[in-house]
Amino acid sequence: MPSVHAAFILAKTGFDWICFDLEHGAITHETLSIMVQAVQSTGCIPFARVAGTDPILIKQALDTGIQGIILPMINSELDAKRALSACFYPPLGTRGVGFSLANSYGKEFESYFHSIHHNLCVVLQIEHISAVKDLDAIFTLQGIDAVMIGPYDLSASMGKTGKFDDPSYQNLINQIYSQAKNHHISPGLHIVNPSPEEFTQRVSEGFQFIAYGIDAVFLNRIATDHVSLLRHGILEKKK
């Protein structure tokens, strides 16, 4: 949600990092800039998932001062090369150089320029069956810290949207996990519907980068549960 207050509240609860969704969310560039500052003030690490691998989208997100970036729909080695290059300044990449919020509009340009390559966490999102065939080539590229499985898009690309118990889907998850580990890349996934049981299970399996829940899902679930309890209480009282 494009809410500075919601981001701040969630950051204060103790999450290691908060991700602003620019792919499916309604967050504008200006709002993102304010949300990043709000989350940073709590000590929580601000991430952003950009809308695509267009270098302009990546550059604009990085210029707000995010410390982690999730790159969606990496379906091939070419996609990965293009996106990774856009994340880093020359000579490592092709990110445009300029004064921005990230470097205090030039005041801290030198320190930001020399430190961001070491501090930026880059996460590739694998969410299409075609990407799985190209994993070895993708994972040999430099600059990847973690890989995150996009469960709904990955299952949809198989023609099995949301069927997470399907054996063929589970085989793909295991393949992505194993190849990430082989290349010393942290394996990750998104637990869309918050579940402490699934979280514990995934950690025990070795997943190291886990996106847990969505702000709107947390709000929807808690509000629905409370309304149901209140209505039940009223009905019981009437009896």
The domain that holds 88 is classified in CATH as 3.20.20.60
Question: What is the pLDDT at residue 98?
Answer: 94
Residue whose C-alpha is closest to residue 18's, from 161, 191, 215: 215
The residues, ordered by sequence, that sit 6+ positions from 120 with a Cβ below 8 Å of its Cβ are 62, 67, 68, 69, 87, 88
Catalytic residue among 5, 24, 114, 232: 24
Helix intervals (H) in the chain: 4-12, 29-40, 55-62, 77-87, 109-119, 129-132, 135-139, 151-157, 167-182, 196-205, 215-238
Give the angle 128-130-134 at the CA atoms, nearest 5°. 115
Q: pLDDT tens for the chain, 239 residues: list them.
A: 999 999 999 999 999 999 999 999 999 999 999 999 999 999 999 999 999 999 999 999 999 999 999 999 999 999 999 999 999 999 999 999 999 999 999 999 999 999 999 999 999 999 999 999 899 999 999 999 999 988 889 999 999 998 988 999 999 999 999 999 999 999 999 998 999 999 999 999 999 999 999 999 999 999 999 899 888 877 667 66
Question: What is the pLDDT at residue 4?
Answer: 96
| 24 a catalytic residue | yes
Q: State the residue range of the domain holding 74.
A: 4-238
Tally of domains within the chain = 1
Q: Assess contact for 172 and 127: CB atoms under 8 A.
A: no
Residue whose C-alpha is closest to residue 145's, from 57, 50, 47: 47
